[in-house]
Structure 1
Amino acid sequence: MKKFSFILMLLALMLFIAACGSDDEGSTGGDSGESSEGETYTVGIDTTYPPFEFEEDGEYTGIDIDLINAIADNQGFDIEFSAMDFGGIIPAMQAGQLDVAIAGMSITEDRKEIVDFSDPYFEAGISLVVNEDNNDITSLEDLEGKTVVVKSGTTGADFARENQEEYGFEITQLDDSPAMFQEVSNGNADVLFEDYPVIAYAIAESDLDLKVVGDRLTGDEYGIAVLKGENADLLDQINAGLQELRDSGEYDEILNKYIAE
């Protein structure tokens, strides 16, 4: 009987060791070994932001669209676009509705508390914009008692709030760039704050009654974002793809397609 019990115990021990070995094999590599190749990711965009993102003939186009498509092709993953107001993009990421955001999004310390950014892919900067007939406003010092219109959720809106008390202007917030441009063009507001490449493109392409005055007010850089602490492997691939596009010259081709230097 003792011999039989010993054999049963030995068999149980062998089964236990085999089970542990199987578990170890199944966990090899963990998350750090995962690849994004073949995966499909949802990308948040704001299509009221030419030349970076806009809709033409029913298709999404622009610098950001071409860039993320090229990165996805280079790195072997697929993407689906989800268009929304800029101010809703980070909340949508927090709600798990988006995996990635590329929307002319400036890299800021506040945003870095919520998202992880890729390497910078564009140098922008906020400009002061007035009606083309306005010759009285050329700098922030001329804004006392004036109305400044900004786009909700942007660095332009942040800049306005940070400088409102010092320069004594009123702020109006709107949800999209075209409405903001129209406010100043129609004389309903005195000034708008907008990223230089965006407003320069809008004035050239849409014949707006606007002009840029003074030097750029900031030196912002754009980045591609994923939710903080999530999709680290995907962010690595985005950075790798971006660098390969720079090295091959395709990055410059994309920029030159929309912005003539």
Structure 2
Amino acid sequence: MKTLLINTLLMVSLFTTTPLLAQDDPLRVGMSGQYFPFTFVEQDELKGFDVDIMNALAKEMGREVKYETANFSGLFGMLGAGRIDTVANQITITEERKKAYIFSEPYVYDGAQVVVKKGNNEIQGVEDLKGKTVAVNLGSNFEDLLQELPYADQIDIKTYESNLERDTALGRVDAFVMDRVSASQIIKEKPLPLKLAGPTFSSITNAYPFKDTEKGRALRDEVNQALATLRDRGTLKDISEKWFGTDITRP
């Protein structure tokens, strides 16, 4: 009888404390710190739209957030190895990524944009990239979007870890492709002679990827609940308007 009582108390203790212990675990988030204005480093401080959104999510979830920075091309490897729980680096939902990961609800709605050096009138949009050298971020989905074009074999695609906008401004490449929101902010904030070339050519939705495990699914659900709360409260809109002057968190 005494043994049964002890075992029962142990089981109750496990069921009542395990969720609290899990809730105390920090949310490990990977980002590059090299994708202005979503994630960048200024005076040794990690800043950006994605940082503000994730900080608000962690606060709503009652968790500490621990950031791990690495080159963008290595972030999914860190996620797959279990070194981080998710990636907050304007990650676009793609069919290929959905085969390997599960995603939260989207928190950014955007489009792919061609950017050229000011004075370049040869490129008026994506249809003019034939025969041109075009830069994209290594590991991003923009290379895939260009490869899907019917004239992809006529585009010389160069991959960069960073500074693709600098090489475009210097004329080392003819254009670069990234999301319209980031491109617009780079043109607004950085002293580089760049301009948008034509309208967006593909819609983009950004979300948080997780491993398809019991823990990953639980974290995804927890993040979705926090996202819904922050959206209803207007927090996502406020953060978006702080960085972009408009709300990119709704379609």
- Relative to the length of structure 1, the TM-score reads 0.85
Cα distance in structure 2, aligned partners of 1:228 and 1:165:
35
CA apart distance, 1:242? 0.9
Q: Pick from 214, 217, 225: which aligns with 2:198?
A: 214
Measured at CA, do residues 253 and 140 of structure 1 come closer, stay the same or move farther in structure 2, by a change above 3 Å? closer
More displaced, 154-163 or 59-68?
154-163
CA apart distance, 1:57? 2.2
Paired AA for residue 241 in structure 2: N
Aligned pairs for 1:172-191 (under 5 A) are 172-176=158-162, 179-191=163-175
Question: What's 1:134 paired with?
Answer: 120
The answer on whether the counterparts of 2:146 and 2:152 sit within 8 Å (CA) in structure 1 is no
Aligned pairs for 1:43-62 (under 5 A) are 43-62=29-48
Deviations 1:157-198 (CA, angstroms, capped at 9, x unpaired): 21122337446111111112xx21111111111111111111
Unpaired runs of 5+ in structure 1?
Answer: 1-13
More displaced, 226-235 or 209-218?
226-235
Considering only aligned residues, what root-mean-square deviation do their CA atoms show, in Å?
A: 2.5
Q: Does 1:147 align with 2:125?
A: no
Cα distance in structure 1, aligned partners of 2:176 and 2:208:
25
Deviations 1:217-248 (CA, angstroms, capped at 9, x unpaired): 11110001221224222211111111111111
- Relative to the length of structure 2, the TM-score reads 0.88
* SS at structure 2 position matched to 1:135: coil
Aligned pairs for 1:13-162 (under 5 A) are 18=4, 25=11, 34=19, 36-162=22-148
Percent identity for Structure 1 against Structure 2: 28
Question: What's 1:248 paired with?
Answer: 233
More displaced, 99-108 or 225-234?
225-234
Unpaired runs of 5+ in structure 2?
Answer: 247-251
* SS at structure 1 position matched to 2:171: coil
Q: Pick from 185, 189, 206: which aligns with 1:205?
A: 189
Question: What's 1:228 paired with?
Answer: 212
Measured at CA, do residues 27 and 161 of structure 1 come closer, stay the same or move farther in structure 2, by a change above 3 Å? farther
Measured at CA, do residues 80 and 28 of structure 1 come closer, stay the same or move farther in structure 2, by a change above 3 Å? closer
Could you say which structure has the larger radius of gyration? 1
The answer on whether the counterparts of 2:38 and 2:89 sit within 8 Å (CA) in structure 1 is yes
Q: Does 1:196 align with 2:180?
A: yes
Cα distance in structure 1, aligned partners of 2:75 and 2:152:
30
Cα distance in structure 1, aligned partners of 2:4 and 2:66:
43
Cα distance in structure 2, aligned partners of 1:205 and 1:164:
34
Paired AA for residue 234 in structure 1: L
Paired AA for residue 77 in structure 1: R
Paired AA for residue 120 in structure 1: P
Paired AA for residue 211 in structure 1: K
Paired AA for residue 250 in structure 1: T
The answer on whether the counterparts of 2:61 and 2:226 sit within 8 Å (CA) in structure 1 is yes
The answer on whether the counterparts of 2:126 and 2:198 sit within 8 Å (CA) in structure 1 is no
Cα distance in structure 2, aligned partners of 1:134 and 1:23:
74
CA apart distance, 1:201? 0.4
Deviations 1:131-154 (CA, angstroms, capped at 9, x unpaired): 111011112332222111111111
Deviations 1:33-57 (CA, angstroms, capped at 9, x unpaired): 8464221121101211122111122
* SS at structure 1 position matched to 2:60: helix
Q: How many residues align?
A: 243
* SS at structure 2 position matched to 1:44: strand
* SS at structure 1 position matched to 2:23: coil
The answer on whether the counterparts of 2:130 and 2:151 sit within 8 Å (CA) in structure 1 is no
Question: What's 2:249 paired with?
Answer: none
